[in-house]
Chains A and B, each alone.
Chain A
Amino acid sequence: MAEILYGVATSHVPAIGAAIDNGREETPYWKPLFEGYEGARKWMADADPDVLILAYNDHASAFDLDLIPTFAIGVAEEFPIADEGYGPRPIPPVPGHPDLAWHLAESLILDEFDMTIVNYLPVDHGLTVPLSILYGKPERWPARVIPLSVNVIQYPPPTGRRCFALGQAIRRAVESYPDGEDLKVAVLGTGGMSHQLQGERAGFINTPFDTAYLNRLADDAEALTEISHTELLRDAGSEGIELVMWLIMRGALSRQVREVHRHYHVPASNTAAGLIIFEGSEALVSM
């Protein structure tokens, strides 16, 4: 049986990936950020999930303006590393889990979430930087990954409420996975926190907003689903709207969760970097 035991939300800033790839984790600029990731990496090694269902957004890598799926699920055996304009990151390709991915695709569509199904899916920093944050530089990735791509670039992204409901549907789908294989599953929501890359307001950061968001995610997430897109654009910055993807993670976990790790640091390039890890109630039972 497969069980969703864990949830992780983290920023996916490309510069964090570049700092890891180029061995700059100990420099004065990056050290405070990476010190906060040490606990997350230790936790990840102990928890050792078999599969990550990873909600992220593609940034003009696999999809362009000709095709903009709101929700897409990767069902391939393996996902290549995208060339985002400066050569692919020097990291291993990402192994998929086609059995569970196809089960999710079928279950979600019959549960009225109209997923786009993708085989060839080069993955960019949105998916790979969270892996590097949690695993460092392994020769091969320790978990298999089901990419769940969410459009947050073309306005409007799916609403926070819809993302939360998708998380709940993912939970139902994983619970009904018929395969005999025992799978420990983690759901990841990535992107955010507050940041704005574009326009005269570039560099916008809203730490009070981010702090409140982190504080409410465990026990008051349904209130976070009520934040409108305009409020997110205004209060979290134009690219901070990525935070809707964190709600997919929260929706996929049990009602009660235990926060096991949190880190928040400004800046990672132009972004407020946040990370939070939850264990669901099943995690306590399974231990």
Chain B
Amino acid sequence: MARAHREYDDIPGTYVFDAEHHRKGYHLNMFGMSLNDPKNRAKFAEDEEAYLDQWELTPEQRQAVLDREWLEMLRLGGNIYYTFKIAAFDGLKMQNVGAAMSGVTEEEFTQMMIDGGRSPDG
């Protein structure tokens, strides 16, 4: 897939949902979107593997969903608003996911936010 250098490529720890990510993550994100419907949430709750069979995920995307690997989903084209539907299904909050993606505990993450958030100076 041809892609020119983007001036945002050097921003650390950030996955800009551009055309490249969209094309990689289309089916993964549309699966996440499907969980807006309570009937689909019930099906996913009943049998995650069987529900995922209906979506054209790559093996890596499928495993990342089953393992709830939030960062890996972003690397594989996920968009946070779509993949967060899976977290909401699990009853998780954005802090849980933020903590997991940045490699700290939820307590540490919540405290970092109370202390003013992750500083632009690193």
Binding site for B on A (CB under 8 A): 14-15, 59-61, 64-66, 82-87, 153-156, 194-209, 229-230, 233-235, 238-239, 266-267, 269-270, 272
Contacts and interface: CB of A to CB of B under 8 A. Distances in A.
Contacts of A238: 11, 14-16
A65 B22 contact: yes
30 contacts: A60-B79, A60-B85, A64-B29, A65-B30, A65-B33, A66-B30, A82-B36, A85-B84, A86-B88, A155-B18, A194-B117, A197-B98, A198-B15, A199-B71, A199-B102, A200-B12, A202-B97, A202-B99, A203-B102, A204-B120, A205-B119, A207-B116, A208-B120, A233-B16, A234-B11, A266-B116, A267-B113, A267-B116, A270-B113, A272-B117
Contacts of B117: 194-195, 203-205, 207, 266-267, 270, 272
Given A60-B33, A233-B14, A233-B16, A198 B101 contact: yes
Given A60-B81, A203-B109, A197 B38 contact: no
Contact of B120 (A61, A66, A206): A206
A211 B69 CA distance: 35
Contacts of B119: 205
Given A83-B38, A200-B12, A60 B94 contact: no
B114 interface: yes
B contact patch SS: helix
Majority SS of interface residues in chain A?
loop
Given A203-B109, A203-B113, A155 B17 contact: yes
Given A60-B33, A65-B22, A199 B13 contact: yes
A60 B82 contact: yes
Contact of B32 (A60, A153, A205): A60
B43 interface: no
Interface in B1-48: 6-8, 11-19, 22, 26, 29-30, 32-33, 35-38, 41
